[in-house]
Amino acid sequence: MMRTVEPIGRMTPFGTEHLSMLLLTVLASIIVVLIGRRIRGTAHEPTVLDATGWTLLSVTVLWTAWGMSPGQWNIDQSLPVQFSDVLRFITSIALLTRARWAIAISYYWGLTLNVQSILTPDLNYYSLPTLEFVAYWFLHIVVFVVPIGLVWGLGHRPTWRGYGIALAAAFVWAGVAIAVNTLTGANYAYLSQAPAGPSALDLLGPWPIYILWEAVLVAVVWALMTWPWTRRRRHPHREPRSLSPRRG
């Protein structure tokens, strides 16, 4: 049986490092939109999306394998059960295939559920702080800026069908996380207890009340993230770009 590695340090929320990453996230979002609008509809678009998708997928696989290796194993961190863990794979699929369902999940999850890890990061260091810091922020920032680029840069548009898919997928994955937590005693997705450090969940009350409020807020916020795009489609001169999957 693999031993559990204990953390040797932790990044201070809203310290210099954290604030620097928040600034980088904002700048990256702006740059991605500008690049997206520049390459939209050109021969460079599929090349950029494929390259980004393969890069994200490769880093995700390597980072997952690293976390599950004997020297890094921690039952509370290593299993790819967090929403952000599966989101990385889904966002890679969105980039590589342009599948409607993957784009929808990357949009709703990436701009909400993933944001908690950006605004209130629970980043512990176990062996190589620099590597762990870079990997954490690279993966969380990428899955945040990609849907921004897809929607505001390349013109893909949210739909009520995509809303339903993303919401159903969130509930299914919450069930998976609860099952894993029950079997292992871990706290993936913070469904078994509140995070140890400060978190946006603190505003929603104690566990398990915040889970109910979180579900309600997700449903409402995602609806608000959908309504403006579907309302705009009533105007024939504002037809959205097709979300058709990649061909060939």
Domain boundaries, the chain: 13-233
Type of residue at 29: S
Please write the tens of the pLDDT for every residue from 50-105.
Answer: 999 999 999 999 999 998 888 788 888 889 999 999 999 999 999 999 999 999 99
pTM for the predicted model, two decimal places: 0.87
Beta-bridge mates of residue 10: 124
Please state, for a pLDDT cut of 90, what percent of the chain lies above it: 66
Residue 28, pLDDT > 50, answer: yes
Q: How far apart are the C-alpha atoms of 60 and 92, rounded to whole Å?
A: 9
Q: How far apart are the C-alpha atoms of 122 and 42, rounded to whole Å?
A: 40
DSSP 207: T
Q: How far apart are the C-alpha atoms of 194 and 197, rounded to whole Å?
A: 9
